[in-house]
Amino acid sequence: MAKAVTHVLGVDLGTRYLKVVELCLQGNRLALVGFPFLIPTPDGAVDGGQVVDSKQVGAALREALKGVRLGTRKAILAVAGDPMVIVRVAEMARMKGRDLEDAVKFEINRHSQFDIQELYYDYAIIESPDAPPEGENMEVLLAAAHEETVNASIKAIMDVRLQPVGVDVMPLAVARSSLLCGGDGAFDQTLCCVHIGSSATFIVMVRKGMPNFIRFLPTAGDTLTEAIRSAGIADPSAAEAVKRLFADASILAGYEEPLGEEEEDSVFEVSDTSAEDVVGPEGEEATLLDVEAPIEALAEEESSKARPPEPTAGPEAHVPERSPEEQHLAELLADGLEQPVIDLATEIRRSIEFYRRQHRNEPVDKIVVSGGTALMGGLRSFLGGELGVPTVLCNPFAGMDLPGNDPNLARYLQEVGPVFAGAVGLAVRDMIEAPVAVAGS
């Protein structure tokens, strides 16, 4: 990919938080410029990854960036949200020119409820490193978004006098960040990138640096928050705070039942099916918890602080020493969270197995987990144990040159790395190639 933009802002307009990161390419090194921004999204301004109130989003960005001296105004942003955005890998007969263009339009029309005239779209042929050059078929990566979705996101950042130089899709951005975590060696591996957003989780299988499989799941951060709310903490902010501070998947580590017998038709590549088809079997209703008044008061107190996520230090969100009351709450939460967390692990496993069946049973080297919910205590180790694949949290800042070489900044970036996976992946869109020196080089 040509290095068209080598000093740029990556802007991730999320449902819960707006993320902005400034990166530049210095020689063959990626460098962080300034401090990344994590800004609470105004209520209702972004829904399911789609900007629905560009004025509110623009106002929030303007306030956060007030007085900040940016090194560039160029920005790359992403669009998201079903059914307004389509991302899929399609297998097609080998063709080129007008025939390929017509085939792409047909494939997009087949999977979109909108007319092609209402969509912005792009495509790229995926050149698998070991595919026969004269094979009859080829894989094509397709991305399409409704023009209103794209225009709303662009308007939001233009209101802050940022210059949009590119619009991307979040699965590809996260895949790039996952590659950064493993350094140059990641380009020779097969990675399973799992991004747990607020309203959806998506899985991207990346083989030797190329995306080969994309799947969306309905189980996401909001699913876990709703499980907590059904347990007796009705206030959404309080439930979110409780999840962030006290949920601990490691308590589920003794879960001994199998993840479920595989159903032949339970997993489909997104390129071959609709969103409804990939929804796994419904789990049992979450257990209702009788949350005691003192614990509920504790949740309300934490939520009233209204601060962004504060993951603790270490390669995984660490569960600090708790009081008996807090431990009691963590155990109660485990009862309610057990089913959705198990469902998530089950669907990731099914996706990996489906991918392996389509690719000569090749092994998956690593699972890279990102998104705010990835910071839930014990989740990384739980998924790794259940799936039997080495599992790491995404830290796309690893190996970057940092301003001032501040060790406290490096530690903070390691803690929030999974949250900024999308923003960093957007910023490096035109920067990361196999020769680019990243982590540890």
Q: Which domains does the chain have, with CATH numbers?
A: 7-427 (3.30.420.40)
With CA atoms as reference, report the closest residue to 203 among 136, 294, 268. 268
Radius of gyration of the chain (CA): 21
- Note whether 441 and 399 are within 8 A (CB): yes
**DSSP-assigned letter for residue 282:** P
- The two three-digit tokens of residue 225, written as one number: 């928050």
Reported as type and span, the H/E element at residue 237 is helix 236-246
What's residue 130's pLDDT? 66
Sign of CA pseudo-dihedral 373, 179, 151, 83: negative
**DSSP-assigned letter for residue 76:** E
Reported as type and span, the H/E element at residue 153 is helix 147-158
What's residue 329's pLDDT? 73
What's residue 358's pLDDT? 85
Q: Where are the alpha helices (DSSP H) in 304-323?
A: none
- Residue 190 pairs with which residues in a beta bridge? 207
- The two three-digit tokens of residue 108, written as one number: 């997009």
- The two three-digit tokens of residue 275, written as one number: 């969103």
- For residue 92, the one-letter residue type is M
Q: Counting beta carbons within 10 angstroms of the beta carbon of residue 405, is it exposed (0 to 12), middle (13 to 18) or buried (19 or more)?
A: exposed
What's residue 22's pLDDT? 97
- The two three-digit tokens of residue 300, written as one number: 């309300």
**DSSP-assigned letter for residue 41:** P
- The two three-digit tokens of residue 83, written as one number: 């059914």
What's residue 103's pLDDT? 95
Phi/psi at 432 (5° precision): -90, 120
Rounded Cα–Cα distance for residues 349 and 259 (Å):
9
- The two three-digit tokens of residue 192, written as one number: 């399973």
- The two three-digit tokens of residue 400, written as one number: 């970057």
The single residue listed with the structure tokens 């779209």 is: 121
Q: In 10 A of CB 390, how many CB atoms?
A: 11
- Residue 22 pairs with which residues in a beta bridge? 9, 33
Q: Where are the alpha helices (DSSP H) in 287-323?
A: 293-303
Is the pTM for the entire model greater than 0.75? yes
Kindly give the pairing relationship between strand 190-196 and strand 201-207. antiparallel
- Note whether 284 and 339 are within 8 A (CB): yes
Cis before residue 83, ω within 30 degrees of 0? yes
- Note whether 34 and 70 are within 8 A (CB): yes
Residues 6+ apart with CB under 8 A from 78: 12, 13, 153, 167, 168, 169, 170, 173, 422, 426
Query: Tens-digit pLDDT profile for the chain (441 aa)?
Result: 344 789 999 999 999 999 999 999 998 899 999 999 999 999 999 998 899 999 999 999 999 999 899 999 999 999 988 788 999 999 999 999 999 999 999 999 998 999 999 999 999 998 776 667 677 888 999 999 999 999 999 999 999 999 999 999 999 999 999 999 877 788 889 999 999 998 889 999 999 888 989 999 988 999 988 888 877 777 878 888 888 788 888 777 554 444 444 333 333 333 333 333 323 333 332 222 223 333 344 344 444 433 334 333 334 544 556 677 777 777 777 778 888 999 999 999 999 999 999 888 889 999 999 999 998 888 999 999 999 999 999 999 998 999 987 788 888 999 999 999 999 999 999 997 643 434 333
Phi/psi at 421 (5° precision): -60, -40
**DSSP-assigned letter for residue 321:** -
With CA atoms as reference, report the closest residue to 110 among 228, 277, 273. 273
Kindly give the pairing relationship between strand 7-13 and strand 29-40. unpaired
Max distance between CA atoms of the chain, in angstroms, equals 68
